[in-house]
Amino acid sequence: MKILVTGGAGFIGSNFIFYMLDKYPDVNVVCLDALTYAAKLRTLDRAMGDPRFKFVKGDITDREAVFALFEQERFDKVVNFAAETHVDNAIAGPEIFLTTNILGTQVLMDACRRFSVSRFHQISTDEVYGDLPLDRPDLLFTEESRIVTSSPYSASKAAADLLALSYHRTYGLPVTISRCSNNYGPYQHPEKLIPLMISRALDDRKLPVYGKGVNVRDWLFVTDHCAAVDLILQSGRPGEVYNIGGSCEKRNIDVVRVILQKLSKGEELIEYVADRAGHDLRYAIDASKIKRELGWEPTVDFERGMDATVKWYAENQNWLKEL
């Protein structure tokens, strides 16, 4: 089997490549990545020496280059991790988010149609559902929840999801979509909460926390996400959306305190800053569908996952500083 992984030099994409190469001796993986600021080729060092792996630098919005790659490689399956994802950047400049996340997805699906790819899997986000109130822990996002986006980023991902579902209905393209809660683990760009706080704490710099830090996120270790995507590729039903969540809700401030505790740093490093515009209050995923249909369960609890994550960043500070 030959798989195209777009955005594979980024955080989740690179971990997915390692996961697939480690698990399947007969898989061949091609990574297509534009190597924007959030990606780093050195992230893929583990895979570079493997004859089953190939890296191609390119942009998913470049139709001619994408079609040429599909014609050359004849992929069986495509997993689209490629996206602009940082909400703050989307607020400052939405255009690149709309271009990459929507038009890039269209180019990939057009290529999948042309070259009869057996599965196109779109990596989405729980942010397409908007947010939930802090005082209603009984409410969770299901696959049937309304799409109520809060930022240009989440709007661009929702648009790509709807476009993918339309390609399934109109053209019969075998599409699946996964919407995941917040991931954490090795190789995540330090613009995101956990690696940002770890990197700043390691240097004894202030840790900027939005508002009062009460916003709640559902956390999932990245390898559990990779396992879920693998199952969807194998057995997911075309035309379906699958929520992937860790059932691990934490306030941002509590996550920051865990990091400080694991690094033996004091809470005087915490600095509360003006809240983000349109900041979602709470995300919480109901992952019962993927558990029921595909037998997926998260395997890494937050304590163990954070031990591994903090240890990795502490031991890979050069990687952090290069980004």
- 293 membership: H or E segment, kind and range: helix 288-294
**For range 247-256, the mean pLDDT:** 96
DSSP secondary structure letters along 22-87: HH-TT-EEEEEE---TT--GGGGHHHHT-TTEEEEE--TT-HHHHHHHHHHH--SEEEE------H
Active site residues: 126-127, 153
Mean pLDDT of the chain, nearest integer: 95
pLDDT of residue 132: 93
> CB atoms < 10 A from the CB of 42, how many?
12
**For range 20-49, the mean pLDDT:** 94
Tokens standing for residue 132: 């939930």
pLDDT of residue 157: 96
pLDDT of residue 130: 92
pLDDT in tens, 134-153: 999 999 999 999 999 989 99
pLDDT in tens, 94-129: 898 999 999 999 999 999 999 999 999 999 999 999
pLDDT band at 89 (very low <50, low <70, confident <90, very high): confident
pLDDT of residue 66: 98
**For range 244-251, the mean pLDDT:** 96
